[in-house]
Amino acid sequence: MARVGLVANPAAGRDIRRLTGGASVVDNRAKRRVAECVLNGLTAVDDPPSVGVMPDKAGIARHALEEAPPGVDVGILDMRTEDSAADSRRAAARFRESADTVVVLGGDGTTRDVALEVGDVPLVGVSTGTNNVVPAPVDGTVAGAVAAVVATGRVDADAVTRRHGLVEATAADVSGEKTLTGLAAVEVTDTSFVGTRAVVDPSDLVGGVVSRAHPAEIGLPSVAGCLAPVAPDDPGGAAVRLADPDTAARTVRGLVAPGLTTRVGIADHRRLDWDEPAVFEVSDGVVGADGERAVELVDATVEITPVADGPRLVEPRDVLAAAGEAGVLVQGVTSADG
């Protein structure tokens, strides 16, 4: 029987940027409703797939189990939880061997955590996080229908998924070598501590490398996209070095965080091929991934590189278009069919 994995991160969409930037908060009540919609969407196909749900202490998984529609077999994974990103990674590792498709409720960070563990299992991302560059703003019901069509093999998964790149950073400083992986971006800031993790003040940004870029995205991908777009399935990425907007030769107006646009100075911008590094010197700062500061550095050399072996992301509109063309969603014959 086909199987769908469901990962819903209770912490996604609730960090300080949602307060300082004035953007809305995606609370756990809303996530419970989205998870419920995903399960209902699975019934778009006959004999819907079974579902495994990551456990959580906010009641999202329990709600999904209790509100599952008739005919959808739902079970909660038997695994310990830590209320941290480790939960998403641990669940994804389980789904790597047991799921045909995985639906992720979260932002770029949660999607990245799942992507790093789930292997080639197709991912359907639903944006319920703060940085939502990669996961799509798709209704949960649509996401469920898409997952069901892909998991049950009713469309060719290779035709409706695309391989997304990653960004890897290696930093050597006074305390040794450190590594970090981003999905949409790895950023360098000149703040000397991780703090609340979220990159709140754009003036802290020194630059970084993105795997994709468009003015309509959030954070460093938006800044880079104002200079030259990089499609999610384009090879390589782009490196951007920032400068004081009052003295820079050129500036852009970037969407640097939810609810926040600002003028950003550009010192340098260039396209990168796969496995081509950009090097940053950091005297006292932090390297982060997908809008979240992660690794503190002192007197460090940081190499940031776009790499090709990222997750297989499902394109929801392509899936349902292919399903429609194949007659997957049609039952019976009408007079109009001839």
How do residues 115-138 score in pLDDT, each as one tens digit?
999 999 999 999 987 668 899 889
Handedness of CA 105, 107, 113, 118 (dihedral sign): positive
Could you give the strand order of the β-sheet that contains 292-307, starting from the edge strand earlier in sequence? 176-182, 166-173, 292-307, 278-289, 185-189, 205-210, 237-243, 260-272, 250-257
Q: What is the pLDDT, as a whole number, of residue 334?
A: 52
**Which 3 state secondary structure label does DSSP give 96?**
helix
Regarding pTM above 0.95, the answer is no
Q: One-letter amino acid identity for 138?
A: V
E-strand stretches of 107-191: 123-127, 161-163, 166-173, 176-182, 185-189
Q: What is the pLDDT, as a whole number, of residue 201?
A: 62
Backbone φ and ψ of 148, nearest 5°:
-65, -45
- 214: which 2 tokens? 């468009």
- Cα 143 to Cα 131: distance, rounded to the nearest angstrom: 19
Q: What is the pLDDT, as a whole number, of residue 261?
A: 87
List the single range of 166-170, 191-195, 291-295 with lowest mean pLDDT: 191-195
Q: What is the pLDDT, as a whole number, of residue 205?
A: 87
Per-residue pLDDT reduced to its tens digit, 20-68: 455 556 788 999 999 999 999 999 999 999 999 999 999 999 999 999 9
Q: What is the pLDDT, as a whole number, of residue 19?
A: 45
pLDDT bucket at 337, cuts 50 / 70 / 90? low
Q: What is the pLDDT, as a whole number, of residue 24?
A: 55
List the single range of 62-66, 150-154, 178-182, 328-332 with lowest mean pLDDT: 328-332
| Cβ–Cβ under 8 Å, residues 182 and 255 | no
Per-residue pLDDT reduced to its tens digit, 245-279: 999 999 999 888 777 888 999 999 999 999 999 99
Q: Which domains does the chain have, with CATH numbers?
A: 3-163+311-337 (3.40.50), 166-307 (2.60.200)
% of the chain beyond a pLDDT of 70: 90
